[in-house]
Structure 1
Amino acid sequence: MSRHYEPRGIALGVETVAAWALGILWILPLIYAVWTAFHPSEYSARFSLMAPLTLENFRRAWDAAPFARYFLNSFMLVTLVLSMQLVLCTLAAYAFARYEFRGKDTVFLLVLIQLMIMPDVLLVENYRTMGKLGLLDSIPAIALPYAASAFGIFLLRQTFKSVPRELDEAARVEGAGPLTVLWRVYVPLAKPVYLAYGLVSVSYHWNNFLWPLIVTNSVTSRPVTVGLQVFSSGDQGIDWSIITAATLMTSAPLLLAFLLFQRQFVQSFMRAGIR
């Protein structure tokens, strides 16, 4: 019996060591960032247990850029994108899951093909489109190219297809229309998937940098990730203490959200995967 389980034990040990190694590699930059942000700049390149703690780097970072405006822009951006995605992806997924129409498979294939297209490939055309619409240097210009998500449509379609048709038919017998059935039957059953997708969408668009950098020119529309570049454009060199303090402030909302909702986050992805 022991010989039978020996390879499994070795494999488990290798996986454990690999997981620890990857975890250490992931957390080392975070530890450095926290250390540097909470200590004077002269200790950014050396470690000392006697180094004094300070919040001065955070104050200087906050004063060096209009972070209040940047945070507001990022909040409005992720809210706008997620709202559009939830509405459009829900309607599209419901149509693909429960309706039959000519060219359905072809259209869905085109949706899946979008998953293989890198967003960076469309930067020029998206910029031209936003220019023609007169939306350059605005939050809608950042959000509109992401209004519909192929991943969201696929994820919700698979979830809706797993809903028993008997529930759909029972609701229609009671006189419910298509949108009522969608709202009363399908959406409540897909709440874990919505939560999982919402967390992914918010994280991605909060951290997105290249497209907002290209399409915005002023403080009034730039999100917080683009605002960070002000700390690397000085003529007197880079102050890593201020940069790490600003980076921690930028990532703090996502880290706090994950710490508060980590159980729901993991359970949502598990349920989404099971479906």
Structure 2
Amino acid sequence: MLLALPFLGPVVFLLLAAFTPSREFGQGRYWSFPPTVENFTLAWQSAPFVLYYRNTVLYTLGLLAVQLVTVTLAGYTLARLPFRGRQTVFYLVLLQLFLPPVVLILPNFLTLRALGLADTLVGLALPYVASAYGVFLLRQGFRSIPKEYDEAAMLDGAGRVRLLWHVLVPMVRPHLAAFSVVSLIYHWNEFLWPLVATSSNSVRVLAVGLQSFTRASESGAEWGLISAGTLIVIAPLMVVFLLFQRLFIESFTQSGLKG
């Protein structure tokens, strides 16, 4: 409990500033009763958060949908299908996990510009379509399933596609759920790559939009507005986690991941 106190400080400050009028907060009054939503109203009107939300939802959920297909197919191939060079391919996938993401930003951006996909949501998501972390996680999940399931399904006349989607995929749902949680949180909060890959307001996501909003508000030290804007951005993740925290914990536990 004591170890959590340093992390609770910024959260308490954020909540107090968000629900206290900026003029009072700037005068040293750190609590307003009753709490007010004035800062949230002003923040919502000061920046196109609806547009930012739309872009972020399309980006994160669209990317996740594609990732679930690619990591499932790649994980299954590396775990269950024998072919020459399988281990080499797997090691190349693992190599990506050891590369700092910042190292890939410039090559990825130059590639997108050459393809004409810079400053688009498709281009923003493209570098993450094949997730090395997801491939590794699903490979481990498929490897943990006894081969007898494959043999039994084949004897019943199931082909590879039916075996995968109707027999094996339901058995790795905890791994898929764990990967989904990590992917959604990471890409919802991602800042540096969207900042580099997008330049127009029409494709800006929440993290970059919040930075622009914060930079404008800092000139007047509007900490109430900044705190309200921050809560607007992180609120969906907080609500989803509170509603489904038991499912999240079970997913990570069953997939073999430990915090």
Across the aligned residues of Structure 1 and Structure 2, the Cα RMSD in angstroms comes to 1.7
Q: What is the deviation of 1:63?
A: 0.7
Deviation, structure 1 residue 21: 2.4
Taking the TM superposition and a 5 Å limit, the aligned residue runs for 1:34-49 are 34-44=15-25, 46-48=28-30
Match of 1:212 in 2: 194
Aligned partner (choices 54, 67, 86) of residue 68 of structure 2: 86
Partners of 1:214 and 1:194 in 2: CA distance: 29
Q: Deviations over 1:4-48 (max 9, x none)?
A: xxxxxxxxxxxxxxxx12211222211110110000113436355
Tell me whether 1:249 sits opposite 2:232 in the alignment.
yes
- The answer as to whether partners of 2:117 and 2:123 remain within 8 angstroms in 1 is yes
In 2: Cα distance, 1:205 partner to 1:274 partner: 20
Equivalent residue of 2:219, what SS? coil
Establish whether residue 271 from structure 1 lines up as the match of residue 220 from structure 2.
no
Show the 5 A alignment for 1:125-144: 125-144=107-126
1:133-172 map, 5 Å: 133-172=115-154
What is the TM-score normalised by the length of structure 2? Answer: 0.94
CA contact (8 A) 1:58 1:245 kept: yes
- The equivalent residue for 2:169 is 187
Q: Kindly provide the CA deviation profile for residues 123-165 of structure 1, in whole angstroms up to 9, marking residues without a partner as x.
A: 1110111111111111111100000111111111111011111
**Are the counterparts in 1 of residues 16 and 30 from structure 2 also a CA contact under 8 Å?**
no
Matched to 1:215, the amino acid is A
Query: Is the CA contact 1:232–1:238 (under 8 Å) kept in the aligned structure 2?
Result: no
Counterpart AA for 1:41: S
SS of residue in 2 equivalent to 1:273: coil
Secondary structure at the residue paired with 2:54?
Answer: helix
Structure 2 CA distance, aligned partners of 1:52 and 1:274?
A: 43
Give me the whole-angstrom Cα distance separating, in 1, the residues matched to 2:100 and 2:235: 28
Of 98, 103, 124, the residue aligned with 1:116 is: 98
Residue type at the aligned position of 1:242? L
Paired amino acid for 2:11: L
The answer for unaligned runs of 5 or more in structure 2 is none
What amino acid maps onto 2:123 in structure 1? A
